[in-house]
Amino acid sequence: MATFPTSKEGFIYSPDAGLHPGLATEGAIRPLTSFASASSARPFDTIVIGAGYAGLTAARDLTLAGQKVLLLDARDRIGGRTWTSQVDGEKYEMGGTWIHWQMGFVWREITRYGLERRLKVTPNAEFADYAFNKTTFNGKVLQEPFVPNFQMCEDAFKRFVDVDGQGGATVIAVPTQVVAGQFVDDRLVDKYDRMSIADRIAEVRAKNICSERELAFLVPWFVLSWGARPENASMLELIKWARHGENSFALLADNQFADGQSHFAKCFFDEALETGNLAYSLETVVRKVVDRHGSVEVVTDKGSFKANKVVSTLPSNVAAKVEEAFSKQHVGQGHKIHSRVAAPQLRSGVWNAWNEDPSDPVELAAAFGDQTLKDGTVAVVAFGGGNSVGNQPSSDPTKIKRWLATVDPELSEHYLSSVWHEWVADPYAQGHWCMYGPRYYTSYFKELQKPHGNVEWASADWADGWKSFIDGAIEQGSKAAYRITREWRRPPQQARL
């Protein structure tokens, strides 16, 4: 297996070796910059801020169109909130992971780069006695065989999101049109945008729509999906997710890349680089974007760069540093921790844990066997929700084992080591994937998508389609590049009209 450069990001910990920052990744680009200094950089048509999927897509499409593009990122790697680490020859997805052929933008790119046969599936039933879904909900433990439990969850999920007797179709008729479009019903959108998932849980209980047994498995899944407590999670967002996935949560966590997300991201970067039109500078922090209406200046810690246009793909929780319109933060504040356990049978397990009492919080809301490693051990990936910056694993990595014990004592008993990225404490993310709280859509979504002079704001955080997913990032990068290319190719006299 190829040896990749080491990024400064991510952590690895074991009780024997202790805590070490920095993980190898195919996404670590070396050298960090393609030019000697800001003053020596050539003039650019467009500057792209951020080398996640939105930025990589925009940079690739613009360079293929013939534009001279500068790609900037504060990290020492590409991929943004999606990257793959390599530890002892094993790959771990540190951020965004799952893809599906019903995600049109991402699937187009997968087939473009010939990766459609390089997928692997997360679920595994190799160990029949451990092919279960186990939940500890409000202190009560339930464990059921995975296949019948999964079907129960599928059925219960459909009832939970069916707020109108039509699977949410009267609220969001077309998943890509939530607050703007010919099929939008403003009254219903406003009603469910005000509703939290906690509000819906109370309604479901009052109307006996779902049983307590069903909620015991569903609610922790909502927590891991939002990285937030149900009272801080938007019901409208859940309806949108359900409508995209045909009211099935199976489509939201199914397929992964065998070669890792960083390999996929590198395909975009390499294609742009091969055009000869791409310059890049990593470990370059953007301080300010100044739109002078004739050109745009991007001020960084390594100097200033000018171009006719800028594509900013900064996450919404970070973009406020350079644009006040993005000052409202999303609620995705959760852990994602891979832990190695010396018990092969745990590959087939799924675990959930949640207490509705906020005075008794649970750090990890869900975990499942993610992959069997070459040495016969198993990697279990766990997620949290509503986790604070001050309680990140690196402050005391011994608590990971204790957190796992609250999910299932067997995970803690066989614990060996962990690999993770602290998204909540990450200055360039300030949270994981973007999830909205109540009233976010109707208050901010249209504002986020408005033109901002010569600056195109493109991010999965406000995608029309699979918002918060890799597919949404590619959608946004494609749209931004298309708009800039059309204007760039327009004759000067037509541009003045």
Annotated binding site for substrate: 244
- Which positions ≥6 away from 440 have C-beta within 8 Å? 193, 234, 237, 328, 330
Q: What angle do CA 487, 449, 430 make, to 5 degrees?
A: 120
- Which positions ≥6 away from 346 have C-beta within 8 Å? 130, 369, 378, 380, 410, 411, 414
**Residue 339: closest CA among 331, 347, 327, 330:** 347
Count how many residues are written for the chain.
497
Residue numbering of the annotated binding site: 244, 286
- How far apart CA 215 and CA 57 sit, in angstroms, is 39
**Residue 34: closest CA among 22, 57, 51:** 51
Which two structure tokens, joined as six digits, stand for 123?
């679920």
Residue numbering of the annotated binding site for FAD: 286
119 close to 97: Cβ distance less than 8 angstroms: no
Distance in angstroms between the alpha carbons of the first and the last residue of the chain: 57
DSSP state of 441: I
Kindly give the pairing relationship between strand 6-14 and strand 286-291.
Answer: unpaired
- How far apart CA 314 and CA 235 sit, in angstroms, is 25
